[in-house]
Structure 1
Amino acid sequence: MFTSLSAWLISLSGKQFDRPQEYDDPNATIANILAEVRQLGAATDFPPNKLKTGHGEYCIYVLDKLADEALKKSGFKWGKPLYPEEETEEESTVDDDVELTLDKVDDEIAEEEDIEEEESFLDLEGLRNLQTNKETAESSRPEEIMESSVDANEWRLEVERVTPSLKVHIRTDNKDWRTHVDQMHLHKDGIETALSETKGYLDKLHKEITRTLEKIGSREKYINNQLEHLLQDFRGTQDGLAEVKEQYRQASGGVTERTRQLAEVTEELERIKQEMEERGSSMTDGSPLVKIKQALQRLKNEVIQMDVRVGVVEQNLLQAKLKDKTNMQRDMNKPIGNANDYDYLKG
C-alpha cells in the first residue's frame, strides 16, 4: 500500500514512475522512491529498511513530502477559514432566563423561608392595614359577575405559546449531598419493605424445613427399629458373600493354571495332528510314483537315443577302419617304383 501510494503521488507530481507489482524487488522499489524524494530536496538520512514495513514515522514523512509536491504541481491553494456565526446576546439571555439552575431555585426557597419567618411575627400595623384594605375591597366589589371579553381560542393559543417558556429545568448534580440522601432513604425504604416480606417467607420456609426434618428423623428411627433384625441378617449375608468370594478367587487361580495347561496340550495335539496329516497325505499321494515313472521313461528314451548314437558312431568307425584297411592293402599291392616312391613308402 505504501509503495502504491508513493507511485501515485509521484505520477501526480508530473514524473514518470512505474507502478510497483507484486513480484518486484522491494529493495529496488524503495531505492527508486527515495531517489524521487531526494530530487525534491528532502532529507533522507534514515535507512531504507525503515520503509519496507510500510508504516511508521519515516513512511509518513515520505508520503508527506510527495503529497506536498503533488499539491504544488496541481496548483492547489489553501483558502481562508470560514467561522460559524455566533448567536446574538439577546437569544442567549432569553435562554438563560428560561432555564433555571438549581442554585437559583435554592435561593428562591431560602427567600421564601425568610419571608415566612418574618410573617410569623405579629404585625399589628399590618393587620390594621389589611382590615382597611378588606373594607375598601368590599366597598369596591362589583354587584354583578365580571365576564371576560377575551376569546377562548386566543387565550388557548396564548397559553400554548407561553407554556414552553414557563418550564423549569433543574439540572441534577450527582455530587449534591441532597440527591445522595434522597437516594439513600429511597433504597432504605425499599430494603426494609423487601426485608419484611422476605423475612416472613424465610421464617415460614424455616418452619416447614424444621418440621420436615423432624418427620424424617422420626421415620428413620422407626425404620431402623423395625429393620434391625433384617440388618443383622444382611450383615451376616455380606460376611458369607465375602467368604464365598475368597473361595472363588482361590478356585479361579487353580482354574486359570489348568486352563493354561489345557491350552498347551491342545496346541501340542494340533501340531501332532498336522504332522500325521502331512505324513498320511505323503503316503497316499501317488504323484511321487508318477514322477518316478516319468523319470524312468525319460531315462529309457535317453538310453535308446544314446544306443542309436553309439551305433552310428561305431558304424562310422567301422567304415573308417575299412577304408583305412582298403587303402593300406592298395598301397601294399602297388609295385615299387623309383627311389622317391621308396622314400615315400618308408616315410
Structure 2
Amino acid sequence: MADDDRREEDDERNPGLQHQMFVIMEDLLDKLKLLDYEEQILVKHNMKPLSRHYFVGSPYTVSNPGEQFYMFSVIAAWLITLCGRFFETPQEYDDPNAIVSNILTHLRALGGTVDFPPSKLKSGSGEHVCFVLDRLAEEALKCRQFVWKRPLYPSDELEEECVVGDDAELTLSKVEELTEEADEEEDVIDLEELKSRTSQSEGSGLRPEMILESVTDSAEWNLEVERVLPQLKVSVRTDIKDWRGHVSQMHQHQDGIKSSLKEAKAYLNKLLEEISKTQEKVSSREKYINTQLEHLITDYRNAQSKYCEAKEQYQQGSGGVSERTRIIAEISEELEKVKQEMDEKGSSMSDGAPVVKIRQSLTKLKQEIQEMDVRMGVVEHTLLQAKLKEKDNMTRDMHATHITETHTYS
C-alpha cells in the first residue's frame, strides 16, 4: 500500500505519468503483433482485434470489465505458454481470484516484480494490467530470441536543380546570362512588346462597339497552355560570389542577436531571482505543512490500507457467496424434481382409475371365458357326432362282411 500511495503522489506531482499507460499499451500492441496474436488468439477464440487503448483504464475510453478481464486472462495465459510454462486457457465462468493468483505466480517465477494487490487486475484494465501483459510479452520475445534492431533511415537524394532562396540577389552577369539563354530559345514571349501593347490600349481609351466573344476552343487553349508552361518557369542559378552577401547578412544578424540578448539577459536574470525566491517560499511552506499534517497522513494511509484489506476480503467473500448461491440453486432444482415425482406417485395412488380399469378387464375376461366355453362345447359336440358316424360306419361294414362270408360258405 505504501507503494500505491507513493505512485499516487508521483501522479499528482507529475501529471504526465497518468498518461504513461497509453504509451505502454501501444508498445504492448506492437509486441503482440510481432508474436502473431491475430492468428493465435483472435482467430482461435473468435475475438475482435484490440484497439490502441483497449486495456487503458481512463474516463475517456470505453470500459467493459467482464470482456476486458476475459481478454486479459486469455492473452496472459497464451504469453505464459509461449514462455515455456504450462497454463490452461481460462474460461468465462472460472473464479477470477484463482486466475489472477495463477498469473501473478507465473510472473514472479519469470522474474517480474509484483508490488500491488491482486485486486487491481480484476477490473481488466488499468496501469497494472498493462504492466503485467507488457512484462509477459517481453519474456515471450526473449524466449523467441527476438532482438530489436536500429531503424534504417533512407538517404536523402540531392536534387539536381539548385533552388535559390527568396533573399538571393541577382547580379548583372546573371541577368546577361538569362538574356542570352532567352535569345537562344525558340518561341519566347516578348514581354516588352506585350507591355507596350497593353500601355497603348490603356492610353487610347477606346472602347469596343460590341461585346467581344471568344471563338477559341477550350481544348486547344489547354493544349497551348501546357505547351507554353515550361517556358514560363524562371530558374536562377547560384553564383560563387554570393557568399560575401551571406557573410555580411550573418554579421548583421549576429549583431542584432547580441544587442537583443543583452536586454533579454537582464530580464531573465530578474525572472530567475524571482522564481528562486518563490521556490524557496514554496519549499519552506511545504515542509511546514508536511510537519503539521504528518500524523494525519499516517492515519490516512493506515485507514486506506485497512479499507483495501477489508475490500479484498469482501470481494473474496462475495465470490464464496456467489458459489454457494449457485449450489443452493442446483439443490433447489433437484428438490423440485423430487417433489414433482412424489406428487405424481401420490396422485396415482389416491386415484381410482386403475381399479376401474381392473374391473373392466375382469368383466372382459369373463365374457371371453364364456365365449370360449361355448366354442369348446360346440367343438365337443362336433367331435361326438364324428365319432358316432365313424362307429355306425364300422358296424355297417362289419355286417356287410359277415353277410358276404355266410354266402360264401353256403
Q: TM-score band, normalised by the shorter chain?
A: 0.3 to 0.5
TM-score (norm 1): 0.35
Structure with the larger RCO, 1 or 2 (CA within 8 Å, 6+ apart): 2
Higher Cα Rg: structure 1 or 2? Answer: 1
